[in-house]
Amino acid sequence: MELLVPAGDINSFYAALNNGADAIYLSGKMFGARSYAKNFTEDELKRVLKLSKIYGLKIYVTMNTLVKENEVQTFLEEVEFLYNLGVDSIIMQDFGMISLCLEKYPNLVIHASTQVNSSSYETIKLLYEIGVKRVVLPREMSIDEIKKIDIPIELEVFIHGALCVSYSGNCLFSSMLGNRSGNRGECVGSCRLPYKLYQDDNLIDEGYLLSMKELNTSFDIKKLPNNIVSLKIEGRMKSPSYVGFITKYYRKILDGNELTTKDLEDLKSMFYRGFTKGHLFNDEDLINKKSPNHLGSHLGKVIDVNDERIKIELDRPLLQGDGIRFRESNKGMIVNYLYDMKDKLINKGNPKQIVEIDNKVKLTNLDEVRKTTDKSLEITAFTIKRKVPINIDVKAKVGEAFTLIFSDLTHSVTYTGNIVEKSINNPISKDRLISQLEKLGNTPFVSKHINIDMDEDIFIRIGDLNIARRTLSERLIGERINDYKEPIINEVTFDKINTNEIIELDNYEEVERNPFYIKDVLKDKSIVSNLFRPTTDVTSSYHLNVFNSYTAYYLYKLGYKAVTLSVELNNIELKDLIESIRKRFGNIPLVVKTKGYVEVMLIKGNILNIDKDIPYTLVNVKNDKFKTNFDGRCTHIDSSYSLNLNEKEFNYDNVYFIGEKYGN
């Protein structure tokens, strides 16, 4: 299985490269679903792609936000830039852009982002049929469900990192409340805030009720089904030190090595909200109601405290420069000065030792101490240490041309030298020949096996041997860099839609969500949004995230009788989108939600432990109230306010309006 690692900046890329990643996913400055990461400039992307070819990494670039109508041209220009660079794939969410790019760039590899939420067999089958190479499966899917996917498409699963509480692609909380769309990479983290849960006026629960623990499947990797090809770690917002550590941690597991107690404690020091195996392994312990923050690993306990100093009995080493947090008080600090019991400054405290630190945080109580950053795990140097193993073949026969061959798994380069002569008084030994050929130094290569076919008592100049070695190293680098498919760009034409059919919404089935039922499309519309081929007269709901005219067109061509536009678009954007659809594709029947509440989260299971079909209310610190219920399968959370758009603003032919009944 491929180990797929995140990189939010160039130093994280080097950390992943050096510590055993098979593939890295990253983003340019636009259209990545982590818009607040540093991400990569065009020059950095060029450098990354060159290095990835040399060192045998795959690079997947995330362009997995929803794309507004006025961004389509810029989106396509970015795709073509990456396509020409030779990226191994582009990860996309927007269905219109996926469909268009598969037609326009026929040998571009596209992976369907987890934001597509491909939780049904039908969705995955459709994506395979239109040409998507891989599906990044939702975090809600279990291994039993994954085993049932017998479609010949690559499957990728998350194995570690932060979890969204809502089905990805279906969370509108940040957008509806803060005008920052999670589908556009701008999530404010509404799930990490405190809430109170009421039934009528009775307080039922309070705390960080929606804050998920960190996914950690490191002890269960071998239980994953063999139809999974890629193991993905979340973390494009994490530091290079985190990326390097977590890559090495999972590389160790995949290479069959045993984890140590230190490995596990260091893992918690890197990032820890509590761990869960997630829905992947049907773990029901998902939420940490007490804290949404990094808790770190156990370090020791406070045994005395005053206004000046905090006295700590250590259970694990503490370094000057480490970050610590006091668990109950939730106060954190960097240890700038560390003292022993003789009041001397030290740079390290050892287990069982009692040390003192300055009381910068005004701690007043005896508390557990946890390590939140470990100075010894920080990465400060970003030189490349990774090496590519190669085979070396030598033929040195008297009277024949000297030949040297360097080969990796897919490339082979040959150097032909001078005619080999019999040595008069200074023959080259086999050991000396091997020694010279192994001097690959600053090249990306290391000798894996050397096969030598040589006569005895022959003469080869060491200088000639060095020239041959350097020449082949450069040639092999060139072969690896230039190993990608030539881009193909097609002109795409579209049918004009001219229909006078009047849509009576009450007469149509609205496709909103359905669970993972193999070949049973409309049995129960309650879990995930789907992009399947309709088998009956249906209209789409706003959950299909129609942001641009291409998505509307391709959904209509799949068989939807009417297409509902996204509720995340404002009035001006909606009107511009309607006019673009009319101009580019014709009279596609469209639906706009103008009234009623919007479902801002759909959550697998009974995450709040509430009674079925009973109305509840979640209340945030600003006293916004969110209607909440559990239907026996999923938890639904509605917006704190009702839409109230003026329908007269959308006075276009073949545009229909929905309120409370539809999409609510």
* Residue-level length of the chain: 664
**What is the per-residue pLDDT across 293-331, written as a single tens digit (0 to 9) for each?**
999 999 999 999 999 999 999 999 999 999 999 999 989
For the residues 471-486, what does the mean pLDDT come to? 92
pLDDT band at residue 660 under the 50/70/90 scheme: low
> Measuring CA to CA, which residue among 113, 332, 124 is closest to residue 234?
113
DSSP SS3 for 450: strand
Contacts 24+ apart (CB under 8 A), 40-47: 40/9, 40/10, 42/81, 44/10, 45/82, 45/85, 46/85, 47/10
Structure tokens at 553: 């067109």
pLDDT band at residue 518 under the 50/70/90 scheme: very low
590-593 sheet: strands from edge to edge: 563-564, 590-593, 655-658
Domain 297-377 CATH class label: mainly beta
For the residues 142-170, what does the mean pLDDT come to? 94
Alpha-carbon distance 623 to 625, whole Å?
Answer: 6
Q: Are 513 and 631 in contact (CB under 8 A)?
A: no
**CATH code for the domain defined by 2-163+213-281:** 3.20.20.70
What residue spans in the chain does CATH classification 2.40.30.10 cover?
A: 297-377
**What is the per-residue pLDDT across 373-424, written as a single tens digit (0 to 9) for each?**
999 999 887 889 999 999 999 999 999 999 999 999 899 999 999 999 999 8
User: In which element (H, E) is residue 468 found?
Assistant: helix 462-481
Q: Which of the pair, 188 or 268, is modelled with greater confidence?
A: 268
Spatial neighbors of 288 by CB under 8 A, at least 6 apart, are 208, 211, 212, 213, 273, 274
For the residues 148-157, what does the mean pLDDT come to? 95
Which pLDDT score is estimated for 30? 84
Lowest mean pLDDT among 44-58, 116-130, 220-234, 469-483: 116-130
Q: Is the pLDDT of residue 515 over 70?
A: no
What is the 3 state secondary structure string of 64-111?
CCCCCHHHHHHHHHHHHHHHHHCCCEEEECCHHHHHHHHHHCCCCCEE
Question: What is the overall mean pLDDT for the chain?
Answer: 91
pLDDT band at residue 353 under the 50/70/90 scheme: very high
For the residues 578-604, what does the mean pLDDT come to? 94
Count helices and strands in the chain by DSSP H and E runs: 13, 38
**What is the per-residue pLDDT across 543-587, written as a single tens digit (0 to 9) for each?**
889 999 999 999 999 888 899 999 999 999 999 999 999 999 999
Which pLDDT score is estimated for 654? 87
Which pLDDT score is estimated for 513? 54
For the residues 62-91, what does the mean pLDDT come to? 95
pLDDT band at residue 64 under the 50/70/90 scheme: very high
Which pLDDT score is estimated for 431? 94
Give the angle 621-627-632 at the CA atoms, nearest 5°. 125
> Measuring CA to CA, which residue among 346, 355, 301 is closest to residue 328?
301
DSSP SS3 for 438: coil
What residue spans in the chain does CATH classification 3.20.20.70 cover?
A: 2-163+213-281
Neighbour count for residue 439 (Cβ, 10 Å): 12
> Measuring CA to CA, which residue among 515, 20, 41 is closest to residue 246?
20
Q: 108 phi and psi, to 5 degrees?
A: -80, 130
